[in-house]
Amino acid sequence: EAIFSSGIDAELLSAETVQVTREGKTQILTGLRFDETTNSLRFELDEGFKPGARYEVKLDALLAGPLRAVNGGDFRWQFQTSVPELLSRNPEGESRPASLGTVGETIVATFSSRIDEDMLDIPETIQVTLQGVAQTVEKVKFDDKTNALSLQIAEGFKPGALYEVVLNGLLAGPLRAIAEGDFTWQFRTPVPELSVSTPTAGQIDVAIADNAIVAVFDNPVDAEILLQPGSVTAFKSGAEVAITNLEYIAETRTARLALAEGLRGGTPYQLRIAAAAGGPRRQSDYTWDFQTAIPEVMTITPADQGIDIGVDIDEVSLQFSAPIDPDQLTTANFIIRRRGENAELRPGDPIDRGDNIYGIAPAEGWQVGTRYNILLSPAVSGPLGSDKTETFVFSTDVPALASTTPTLDDTTVTDLNAAIETRFDAPINQAALLTESNVALLQAGESVAISTPAYDPDQGTVSFAPVGGLVPGTSYQVRIAAPVGGPLFDNPGAYNWSFSTRVPSITATTPEDGSDIRSGSQRLTVAFSGPVNPLLLNSRNFTLSCRGCSSGRLADDEFSYDAETFTVSFPAIEMISGTRYEASVSSRVSGPLASQIQLRDRNWSFTTEIPQVVSTLPAADADGISTDDPSLQITFSEPAARQEVSDFQILAQALNDPTATAELLTITGFGANEDGTVLSFAPTGGFKPFTEYQVSMDRIVLGQLAESGFIWTFRTAASLADARQGGTISNADNQVEIYFPPNALAPGSNEISIRRVAAPAGKLVQDGERTQITDAYAIGSAGSLGKRATLTMRYSDAQLAAHDPAKLGIFRRAGDEWLRLGGTSDRSGRLVMTSIEALGTFAVFEDLATLVGGLAVRELDCQPRAFTPRGGGLRDETDISFTLTGPADVTVRVYNASGRLERVIVREQAMAPGRVTLKWNGQNENRELVASGLYIVAVDAGGEHSEKIVAVVQ
The pLDDT of residue 475: 84
Average pLDDT, the chain: 89
Judge whether residue 100 has pLDDT over 50. no
Task: Kindly report the pTM of this predicted structure.
Answer: 0.45
- The domains of the chain, with CATH numbers, are 2-80 (2.60.40), 86-188 (2.60.40.1220), 194-291 (2.60.40.1220), 297-385 (2.60.40), 402-467+477-488 (2.60.40), 506-608 (2.60.40.1220), 613-716 (2.60.40.1220), 854-954 (2.60.40.2550)
Q: For residues 733-755, give the mean pLDDT.
A: 90
Share of the chain above pLDDT 70, in %: 96
Report pLDDT for 564. 87
Higher pLDDT, 161 or 112: 112
> How is residue 686 annotated by DSSP?
-
pLDDT-derived band at 945, boundaries 50, 70, 90: confident
State yes or no: pLDDT of 830 exceeds 60.
yes
Number of H helices, E strands in the chain: 6, 81
Strand ranges (E), 311-427: 316-320, 334-338, 341-342, 351-354, 357-360, 371-376, 390-396, 401-405, 410-413, 420-424
Residue 99 in this model has a pLDDT that exceeds 50: no
Angle (CA) 763-768-769 rounded to 5° is 95
pLDDT of residue 97: 42
In tens, the pLDDT along 894-929 reads 999 877 899 999 999 888 888 899 999 999 999 999
**Pairwise CA distance, residues 811 & 914, whole Å:** 10
Check residue 879 and give its pLDDT: 92
* pLDDT value of residue 762: 42
Query: Omega before 483 cis (within 30°)?
Result: no
> How would residue 374 be classed by pLDDT, with cut points 50, 70 and 90?
very high
Assign 764 a pLDDT band (cuts: 50, 70, 90). very low
pLDDT band at 590 (very low <50, low <70, confident <90, very high): confident
* 79-106: average pLDDT: 71
Q: How confident is the model at residue 397 (pLDDT cuts 50, 70, 90)?
A: confident
Is the predicted pLDDT of residue 861 greater than 60, yes or no? yes
- Rounded CA-CA distance 953/871 in Å is 10
Of the ranges 38-47, 428-437, 691-700, which one carries the lowest mean pLDDT score? 428-437
446 pLDDT band, cuts 50/70/90, is: confident
Backbone angles phi, psi at 224, to 5 degrees: -65, -45
Residue 326: pLDDT band (50, 70, 90) is: confident
Residue 316: count of CB within 10 angstroms of its CB: 23
13/64 Cα distance (integer angstroms)? 11
pLDDT tens-digit map of 244-292: 999 999 889 999 999 998 888 888 999 999 999 998 888 899 999 999 8
What is the model's pLDDT at position 339?
79
Q: In terms of Cα–Cα distance, which of 394, 266, 293, 389 is closest to 332?
A: 389
For residue range 495-544, list pLDDT tens digits in order: 899 998 888 999 999 999 999 999 888 899 999 998 988 889 999 999 99
Tell me, what's the pLDDT at 765? 40
- 189 pLDDT above the threshold of 50: yes
Residue 603: the pLDDT is 94
Q: Does residue 710 contact residue 613 with C-beta atoms inside 8 Å? A: yes
The Cα 940–Cα 935 span in angstroms is 16
pLDDT at 120: 92
Sorting pLDDT into bands at 50, 70 and 90, what band is 759? low
Provide the pLDDT confidence category of residue 619 given band limits of 50, 70 and 90: very high
Q: Determine which of 172-186, 346-360, 416-430, 598-612 has the lowest per-residue pLDDT on average.
A: 416-430
Average pLDDT (376-400) is 86
**The pLDDT value given to residue 767:** 59
Query: Quick one: pLDDT band at residue 851, thresholds 50, 70, 90?
Result: low
Report the alpha-carbon distance of residue 769 to residue 753 in Å, rounded: 31
Phi-psi map region of 115: left, alpha, beta (phi>0 left; psi -120 to 50 alpha): beta
**Dihedral (C-alpha) 378, 380, 383, 387: value to the nearest 10 degrees?**
-10
Q: Flag whether pLDDT at 32 surpasses 90.
A: yes
The radius of gyration of the chain's CA atoms, rounded to the nearest angstrom, is 58
Distances from the Cα of 445 to the Cα of 351, 503, 687, 802, angstroms: 51, 20, 84, 100
- At 101, the pLDDT band (50, 70, 90 cuts) reads very low
* First-to-last C-alpha distance (Å) of the chain: 103
Strand bridging mode 148-153 / 106-111: antiparallel
Checking if the pLDDT of 766 tops 70, the result is no
pLDDT in tens, 578-587: 999 999 999 9
